Structure 1
């Protein structure tokens, strides 16, 4: 086979591989990746309630709202695992509520979470990941995101100061918040 013919076949094969890789990437992106960007969300806890079996006086209760398909969970779940490790021994009870209709399970490092089917008023949640914290008297102290921005960790989190204040017996009332961050719509259809 002449050298120019072999070169032509190599070029055509390279182009075919590039097109195949591009098409595979587009298929993966359309099938598995949800679009997300930094956006604003208004969290109003006016209707949010604990289930009857958890309501009333008791430990500080933290409820994690999550959607298995949300790409914003990645950093958030590592931070949540650190919260469980640091505060479960201090008497904070941890729960999780998964977006209705979604499929998936929590990572193994979040095994300290008790899974709830839903909370009264959770149909009004605007976006996730989100968190609700009830104080020792059963009053909603905080409802909103873990932090502001695209990533979440202990250095930019709202949660540690709230848990510390509640553990010290101080009152917190931050059940209505506006935040800009990485969120996925809670009510969005699959």
Structure 2
């Protein structure tokens, strides 16, 4: 007796399982960057933090052990290279109490332009893998360099972020 139907059914079940696992992973790791509006509520703490920074500074906030770090590592390396070519001061910071007072999630980036202006503050990008394909940082820095337009604070993105 032939069981020609066995392989298509087995492959169909496997595909359903894989799709379910993919959506479960996405649902588990996809989060809002600032669901409690912490950046808006803690503007004075943020401004005090920026006051101590030199102009043209980029600060990467990376939380050790965050499951999102591997997803954004390639994107962060590309940005580091680009910022170094532009002559920006670059720091990588593990958020401490001072940063946790106003920063809701990591990984995140702060780009300070001339006169302590916030060019960009928020996540690197959106989506489950926070890749360079949908980079908020690159768009913000390009707008600032070309037209002097600062994006400012982006707090409503959804992606792979760890709460601080």
TM-score by length of 1: 0.60
The aligned residue for residue 30 of structure 2 is: 38
Distance 2:102 2:151 in 1: 19
Number of aligned positions between the proteins? 129
Structure 2 gaps, min length 5: 1-27
Aligned residues: CA RMSD: 2.1
Higher helix proportion (structure 1 or 2): 2
Q: Output aligned runs, 1:122-141, within 5 Å.
A: 122-141=100-119
Q: Does 1:81 align with 2:73?
A: no
CA contact (8 A) 2:72 2:129 kept: yes
Task: Using the TM superposition, give the Cα deviation of residue 132 of structure 1 relative to its aligned residue in structure 2, in angstroms.
Answer: 1.2
Distance 2:132 2:99 in 1: 28
Higher strand proportion (structure 1 or 2): 1
| Structure number with larger C-alpha Rg | 1
The aligned residue for residue 128 of structure 2 is: 150
CA contact (8 A) 1:41 1:178 kept: yes
- Please give the per-residue CA displacement for 1:6-51, whole angstroms capped at 9, x wherever unaligned: xxxxxxxxxxxxxxxxxxxxxxxxxxxxxx5111132626231226
Q: Output aligned runs, 1:152-167, within 5 Å.
A: 152-167=130-145
Q: Does 1:95 align with 2:96?
A: no
CA contact (8 A) 1:165 1:172 kept: yes
Task: Using the TM superposition, give the Cα deviation of residue 121 of structure 1 relative to its aligned residue in structure 2, in angstroms.
Answer: 5.1
Task: Using the TM superposition, give the Cα deviation of residue 158 of structure 1 relative to its aligned residue in structure 2, in angstroms.
Answer: 0.4
2:83 match: secondary structure = helix
CA contact (8 A) 1:38 1:149 kept: yes
Aligned partner of 2:67 among 56, 65, 71:
71
Distance 1:51 1:174 in 2: 16
Distance 2:75 2:135 in 1: 9
Distance 2:73 2:138 in 1: 15
Distance 2:99 2:74 in 1: 27
